[in-house]
Amino acid sequence: MPVARSALTDAYARLSEVLPGLGVTEQAPSERAPHGGGWVTADALAAGGAELAAFLAWDEAQVLRDYGQWARPDVIASFGLHRYAWPACLLITVPWFLHRRVPRLPAARVAYDRTAAGLPLGRMALRPVGFACLPGDPAAALPGARVVAGEEELRAEVRASVAEHLEPVLAGFGPRMRRRGRALWGMATDEIVEGLWYVAHLLGEQERARRELELLLPGATRPYVGDAAFRELKGPDGQPLHTRDRASCCMFYTLRPEDTCATCPRTCDADRVNKLLATAG
């Protein structure tokens, strides 16, 4: 049976509309997380055992297929974390951005299947443990709602919810990535910012997303590293080009040194401008 509409349903429907490559399914609180096939729960990844190894074997095979070479184990683990954390963060940031509602999603409450046909970003199933919202939100009367005083308190809920979900996942991936502490939370910071920034572009609200993310991550918000790190470059005709400086490196340069992304710490501003112009074209 389909789950009854919740305070989050409209946000996830809008996410699926603009990002059809990612499937999102809300489950009833009493439902069991999906299993079998390609499904794995976030807490199973966090355990760092056989299920994480099987998850990363998919990345290893993809790299070999797409680039015709093997990647180092730490690079594979970095790719695998990104491919999980990027959509996982959207489960929290998109309802906040669209409706000012912040779900709580402990790792045991989210499952991911990256093998689903027709869904290049995979599909996620989730069973939230309540949500935070603002005074005056009609959803405040729903079961599981927790009303906070204002916008800053709600931003704190976003930071806390993402940290609660990702902290055990980072601990599971970290040893395989040969990273810990600040380096791992730098990756988490990047997943929050770049995921929502990308989706906001699809929504036609990229400028608002920049403002919101700068308030969400102003710096000194542990465990996150740095701030949202947006800045503006100028194109050859003086046109503004927006970029940001990643707090971490995705390690793609180990496969294609000449093909780094526009926000990579290794990409100089002149190359960033060229990449941004090529993307815009």
Q: What is the pLDDT of residue 113?
A: 96
Alpha helix segments (H runs only) across 19-72: 42-47, 50-67
User: What's the CA dihedral at 52, 57, 60, 66 to 10 degrees?
Assistant: -120
pLDDT above 70: percentage of residues in the chain: 98
pLDDT by residue (tens digit) across 222-279?
999 989 999 989 888 888 888 898 888 888 888 888 777 778 777 888 888 888 887 7
Task: Give the distance from CA 217 to its chain's centroid.
Answer: 14
122-126 and 22-26 beta bridge pairing = parallel
Tokens for 238, please give them: 């003086």
Please tell me the number of Cα atoms within 13 Å of 229 on its side-chain side: 20
Lowest mean per-residue pLDDT among 29-33, 76-80, 258-262, 270-274: 258-262
Q: What is the pLDDT of residue 281?
A: 54
Q: Mean pLDDT, to the nearest integer, of 148-169?
A: 98
Q: Mean pLDDT, to the nearest integer, of 6-25?
A: 97
Q: What is the pLDDT of residue 280?
A: 66
Cβ-Cβ contacts under 8 Å for 43 (sequence gap 6 or more): 106, 107, 108, 168
pLDDT by residue (tens digit) across 37-66?
899 999 999 999 999 999 999 999 999 999
Q: Which residue has the tokens 């990002």?
A: 19
Is 56:176 a contact under the CB 8 Å cutoff? yes
Cβ-Cβ contacts under 8 Å for 252 (sequence gap 6 or more): 259, 260, 261, 264
Q: Mean pLDDT, to the nearest integer, of 210-226?
A: 95
Q: What is the pLDDT of residue 249?
A: 83
The mean predicted confidence, pLDDT, of the chain is 92
Is 95:11 a contact under the CB 8 Å cutoff? yes
Is 248:262 a contact under the CB 8 Å cutoff? no
Q: Mean pLDDT, to the nearest integer, of 141-145?
A: 94
Q: What is the pLDDT of residue 75?
A: 94
Between 263 and 164, name the one with better pLDDT: 164
In the predicted structure, residue 4 carries a pLDDT above the cut 80 = no
Q: What is the pLDDT of residue 254?
A: 87
Q: How far apart are CA 107 and CA 36, in angstroms?
A: 18
Look at the alpha carbons of 248, 253, 255, 259 in this order and tell me if their dihedral is positive or negative: positive
Q: How far apart are CA 199 and CA 194, in angstroms?
A: 9
Q: How far apart are CA 103 and CA 132, in angstroms?
A: 6
User: What's the CA dihedral at 163, 130, 200, 262 to 10 degrees?
Assistant: 20
Q: What is the pLDDT of residue 263?
A: 82
Look at the alpha carbons of 100, 105, 109, 111 in this order and tell me if their dihedral is positive or negative: positive
Supply the DSSP symbol for 31.
S
Phi, psi of 56 (to 5 degrees): -75, -25
Tokens for 278, please give them: 């090529």
In the predicted structure, residue 1 carries a pLDDT above the cut 60 = no
Q: Mean pLDDT, to the nearest integer, of 203-220?
A: 96
Is 87:195 a contact under the CB 8 Å cutoff? yes
